[in-house]
Amino acid sequence: MSITIKSPAEQDAMREAGRLTAAVLDMIGPFIQPGVTTDELNQICHDYIVDVQQAIPAPLNYRGFPKSICTSVNHVVCHGIPSAKTLRLGDLINVDITVIKDGFHGDSSRMFSVGKATIQGERVVRVSREALWLGIAQARPGNRLGDIGHAIQQYVEGQGFSVVREYCGHGIGRIFHEDPQVLHYGEPGTGLELREGLTFTIEPMVNVGKRHVRLLPDGWTVVTRDHSLSAQWEHTILITRDGCEVLTLGADERT
């Protein structure tokens, strides 16, 4: 698969897809309460994307994925399948949204706590979010993908946590997952040189314990091997002439 550089018109389409993706995450936050099931969250998001936004939930039937969003709770790293599981006080949940609008994808995920998280939970949520923004700070023309991964890895490991290596960010546009792969670890000055018009996600998965993960028999759900908590934040970004533009900013991130 080749890397695609987006034209100005395609960049505008990506902005709209990103805006809609962020709007879903802004919308769902108040519904994340004790007693709600992840399947109920899935249905609320599905109806909002389809009926209100007149868009398409990209995960639904993607390579056989059965739901419209991913919901990853506590030690689930990513790709959790919404179910009858009821959220409880103290749970951490990552909600991962991908919207298709006019053929283009926006992709973002956000951490939520059900009530007040534990001190450890609050810390891994904070560290994963800060790691994402440190990675974004390296996203500019002339830098390389390794600069992004290195910044994330150095910060996370310096906080005593670990970075998952089996799953990564990705190019995005008309295709949900396209080149390049965006690793959340690595060496500075290595990897693809970033160019204006490139769009991709940065989405570090940070574990409280060791970095190792395993895939459950459902073929989707990824969990920490040691059952430690995991947290993830994700944004879709566009490389611009002098830096980058985050296409999936939430309401509280737009200043």
Q: Is residue 251 part of a domain?
A: no
Q: What is the pLDDT of residue 2?
A: 79
- Structural domain contains residue 254: no
pLDDT of 255: 66
List strand residue ranges (DSSP E) for the chain, in order: 56-57, 70-73, 76-78, 92-101, 104-113, 162-163, 169-171, 178-182, 199-202, 205-207, 213-215, 222-224, 230-232, 235-239, 244-246
Say how far apart CA 125 and CA 16 lie, in whole Å: 27
pLDDT given at position 254? 82
In the block, residue with structure tokens 């997952």: 177
Number of H helices, E strands in the chain: 4, 15
Which residue bears the tokens 């969003």?
69
Residues in the chain: 255
CA atoms within 13 A on the CB side of 165: 9
Chain centroid to CA 215: 18
Residue 35 placed within a domain: yes
For residue 100, give Cα distances in angstroms to 16, 19, 53, 97, 225: 10, 11, 10, 10, 33
The per-residue pLDDT for 1 is 52
Domain with 116 in it: what CATH number? Answer: 3.90.230.10
| Residue 163 domain-assigned (yes or no) | yes
pLDDT by residue for the chain (255 residues), tens digit each? Answer: 579 999 999 999 999 999 999 999 999 999 999 999 999 999 999 999 999 999 999 999 999 999 999 999 999 999 999 999 999 999 999 999 999 999 999 999 999 999 999 999 999 999 999 999 999 999 999 999 999 999 999 999 999 999 999 999 999 999 999 999 999 999 999 999 999 999 999 999 999 999 999 999 999 999 999 999 999 999 999 999 999 999 999 999 986
pLDDT score at 174: 97
Residue 72 is assigned to a structural domain of this protein? yes
Whether the model clears a pTM of 0.85, i.e. scores above it, the answer is: yes
Total domains in the fold of the chain: 1
233 is a domain residue = yes
The tokens for 25 are 């995450």
Domain ranges, residue 83: 8-246
77 Cβ partners below 8 Å, 6+ apart?
Answer: 164, 167, 205, 207, 213, 222, 223, 224, 230, 232
Whether residue 27 is contained in a domain is answered as yes
The whole-number pLDDT of residue 92 equals: 98
